[in-house]
Amino acid sequence: MGAVSGAAAGLAQGGGGVGSCLRPGLAGGVGTVPGAVQPLIFLFFSAFVGAYLLYSWGTQEFERLKRKNPADYENDQ
């Protein structure tokens, strides 16, 4: 048999195949994705919760201020 090169050499030597031959940095970096994404999830979740609470409060306050004050109409005939 002849010399093996390229992706086949990576598989024969246990190097992980085509992905590890072309991009050696990706093989070890995939496991770090959950650790990198977790702070972003917390950041976005807290921002959405804050925006929802602000929107909810603003809507309730608007509805409260939109109502008529019965004390303004006590002396009407």
The lowest-confidence range among 2-11, 27-36, 55-64 is 2-11
Q: Domain span at residue 22?
A: 7-67
20 domain residue, yes or no: yes
Regarding pTM above 0.75, the answer is no
Q: Which residue has the higher pLDDT, 10 or 39?
A: 39
Question: What is the tally of structural domains in the chain?
Answer: 1
Task: Tell me the one-letter amino acid at 36.
Answer: A
What mean pLDDT comes out for the span 8-14? 53
Cα four-point dihedral sign 16, 19, 20, 21: positive
Identify the band that residue 44 occupies on the pLDDT scale cut at 50, 70 and 90. very high
Question: Could you tell me how far CA 23 lies from the centroid of its own chain?
Answer: 26
Angstrom distance (rounded) from CA 32 to CA 39: 12
76 domain residue, yes or no: no
What tokens appear for 30 in the block?
């995939």
1 domain residue, yes or no: no
Residue 69 has what pLDDT?
A: 87
17 domain residue, yes or no: yes
